[in-house]
């Protein structure tokens, strides 16, 4: 076996499907962070609890972030 073949095998730790799953996981994390952002009021004296504690920010966004981390772990441990 040539030296070039040995180097290529050591660099191919992840396959194409691993990288695809990693991108999916990263996208889920980014979408979750974007859904959690916001809620700023134009008037600092007014607190809008319905906007800050909405389903989107309290439930949906954290679930997407956790799902993204689970997908990332799956992508790392998946055999290529």
pLDDT given at position 47: 86
Query: What b/e readout covers 54-80, taking b as 16+ CB neighbours within 10 angstroms?
Result: beebeeebeebbebbeebbeebeeeee
Q: What is the pLDDT, as a whole number, of residue 5?
A: 57
What is the C-alpha to C-alpha distance for residues 17 and 23, in angstroms, rounded to an integer? 10
The pLDDT value given to residue 41: 79
List the pLDDT tens digit at each of the 80 positions of the chain: 556 555 555 567 889 999 999 999 999 999 999 999 987 778 888 888 888 899 999 999 999 999 999 999 999 999 87
What's the confidence (pLDDT) of residue 11?
Answer: 60
Give DSSP secondary structure letters for 41-68: -SSTT---HHHHT-HIIIIIHHHHHHHH
pLDDT of residue 49: 86
């Amino acid at each position: 076996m040539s030296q070039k073949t040995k180097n290529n095998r050591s660099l191919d730790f992840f396959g194409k499907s691993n990288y695809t799953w990693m991108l999916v996981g990263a996208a889920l994390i980014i979408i979750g962070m974007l859904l959690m952002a916001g809620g700023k009021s134009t008037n600092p004296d007014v607190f809008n609890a319905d906007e800050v504690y909405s389903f989107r920010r309290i439930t949906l966004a954290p679930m997407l972030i956790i799902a993204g981390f689970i997908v990332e772990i799956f992508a790392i441990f998946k055999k290529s």
